[in-house]
Chains A and B, each alone.
Chain A
Amino acid sequence: MNKIKENKDRKIKVLVSKVGLDGHDRGAKVICSLLKEAGMEVIYLGMYQMPKDVIDAAIDEDVDVIGPSFLSGEHLVYTPIIVEEMKKAGLDDVLLVVGGVIPVEDISTLKKMGVDEVFTAGSLTAPIIQYIKENIRR
């Protein structure tokens, strides 16, 4: 947060992506729009992405936050792979924030895996922005 205040040319970069066989992208688009309005630079990768695609893009684009979005119920399948790939790539300074339709009982499972935060459908916008601004690690 302080770092960002220091340098007006320092923008928070967020990568938003649908992951897996999931064509429901309205929520992800809303999030993109919201973060853009909050002054962040948002890269939207689109639908049907695999964990490796997301990680490769995150490296090339040098993002601060990775935000996979799920509606299809595949979050417990793909999220561990994303976490694993992030570790392999050494992206320990990148925040992982999962969003979408996630059953409440899965949130702690995801967090134990290494997800930093989970925002489910119905989340208010302000806390999402605040969370990112306060928690980015670089």
Chain B
Amino acid sequence: MQEMTTEEWSRKVKEGDRRAVAKLISAIERKEKIAREVLKLLYKPVGKTVTVGVTGSAGSGKSCLVSCLITAFRKRGKTVGVVAVDPSSPFTGGAFLADRLRMQAHGRDKGVYMRSMASRGYLGGIARGTVDVMRVIEAMGSDVVIVETVGTGQDEVEVARLVQTCIVVLTPNMGDDIQAMKAGIMEIAQVVVLNKSDMPGKEKALLDVEIALKMRSAPEDGWYVPIVLTVATEEKGIDKLLEQIEKHQSHLRKCVGLRKFAFRKAEKEGSVLVKDEIERIIFDHLKGTGLRRKYLDRIVDGEIDPYTAVEEVLSLFFKKSSKEG
């Protein structure tokens, strides 16, 4: 694939060539320069593509739900792309990616593209390149792009900025009403799913979430978060879930305006790209100079504090040091 020009590569992606898509995603994961060049050609502002995020704690049934959603969208004649993120080991860098296992039923469906991603140390519940991968899948012509996050706890909310409709998956044993009232993940839901709703404790959990949602101030965008009961392993409640996704989509498009969503997304993406690029420039520059090691040693030995060290390094690049910040 390396021999291809960026134009050829982007054309193949747009034609839905799965190998070209797969290789491009790998190049994105490896932060290869050529990937960015192809992405430039693939960029288009948000449009018809429906983007859905599925997040929730480990074992809450996200992958099973995504599999059900794929089936539901396919029944309506939509093509679907999925990015499923699982965590990388902070110790070995390895990862066990098993989201695909729950989506076996769609393995042979040419209208479905699935890709597993390891988080590779990126926090926030997704991987560094997830937004780029979504763009690639969108470019290959998928009507719907679903992002499944790693198992999340309370604060991994980044997916909310990437997708139009964010689904937070809870289970009956998730904790008491105090948990449901906390900030963070509960706040990013456009739809709350209470999965495994055939398990004991369902009524209590439902009540806790209902009350927590009602205690919030009126939503700025006018969307009141619905709760849907599902049993993903038995495909129960999926029609209702899809209905709520579609309701939110039309609310977003008619009442809020996609532009507002797109603006927020671009804002976030811009700051991430700038940060990454500055980091890359600085570390590339330090490479082979031994300066990085020297500073680290001095910090550890107490000769300099980390704040001054950072200011000194940055002053190599910027005339006004960060002191004035």
Distance between Cα atoms of A37 and B100 in the complex (Å):
20
> Which residues of A have CB within 8 Å of B104?
45-46, 49, 53
- Contact among B19, B25, B31, B95 with A36 in the assembled complex (CB-CB below 8 Å): B95
> Which residues of A have CB within 8 Å of B21?
60
A138 CB → nearest B CB, Å:
10
Distance between Cα atoms of A35 and B25 in the complex (Å):
22
Distance between Cα atoms of A43 and B117 in the complex (Å):
10
> Is A5 an interface position by the 8 A CB rule?
no
Interface positions of B from 94 to 131, Cβ below 8 Å from A: 94-98, 100-101, 104, 107-108, 113-116, 118, 120
- Contact among B22, B29, B113 with A9 in the assembled complex (CB-CB below 8 Å): B29
Whether the Cβ atoms of B97 and A41 lie closer than 8 Å is: yes
Whether the Cβ atoms of B30 and A43 lie closer than 8 Å is: no
Whether the Cβ atoms of B22 and A33 lie closer than 8 Å is: no
- Contact among A9, A44, A46 with B96 in the assembled complex (CB-CB below 8 Å): A44
Q: A43-B100, A46-B101, A59-B19 are in contact. Are A35 and B107 (CB under 8 A)?
A: no
> Which residues of A have CB within 8 Å of B115?
60-61
> Which residues of B have CB within 8 Å of A57?
100, 107, 114
> Which residues of A have CB within 8 Å of B107?
49, 53, 56-57
Whether the Cβ atoms of B18 and A39 lie closer than 8 Å is: no
Q: A59-B19, A59-B22 are in contact. Are A40 and B94 (CB under 8 A)?
A: yes
> Which residues of B have CB within 8 Å of A32?
96
The DSSP consensus for interface residues of chain A is: mixed
- Contact among A7, A10, A62 with B22 in the assembled complex (CB-CB below 8 Å): A62
A13 CB → nearest B CB, Å:
8
Q: How large is the interface on B (under 10, 10 to 19, 20 to 34, 35 or more residues)?
A: 20 to 34
A137 CB → nearest B CB, Å:
14
Interface positions of A from 1 to 42, Cβ below 8 Å from B: 7, 9-11, 13, 32-33, 35-42
> Which residues of B have CB within 8 Å of A111?
none
> Which residues of B have CB within 8 Å of A37?
89, 92, 94
> Which residues of B have CB within 8 Å of A56?
107-108
> Is B93 an interface position by the 8 A CB rule?
yes
Q: A44-B101, A62-B26 are in contact. Are A36 and B94 (CB under 8 A)?
A: yes
Whether the Cβ atoms of A61 and B22 lie closer than 8 Å is: yes
Q: A56-B107, A60-B114 are in contact. Are A42 and B92 (CB under 8 A)?
A: no
> Which residues of B have CB within 8 Å of A52?
108
> Is B23 an interface position by the 8 A CB rule?
yes
Whether the Cβ atoms of A36 and B101 lie closer than 8 Å is: no
Interface positions of A from 55 to 73, Cβ below 8 Å from B: 56-57, 59-62
User: Besides the contacts A43-B97, A45-B101, what 9 more A-B pairs have beta carbons closer than 8 Å?
Assistant: A9-B120, A10-B30, A39-B93, A41-B97, A44-B97, A46-B101, A57-B107, A59-B18, A62-B26
Which 6 pairs between the two chains have the least Cβ-Cβ distance?
A36-B94, A62-B22, A46-B101, A9-B30, A53-B107, A62-B26
Pairs A–B under 8 Å by Cβ, sample size 9: A9-B120, A10-B30, A11-B29, A13-B26, A37-B92, A41-B94, A44-B96, A57-B107, A62-B22
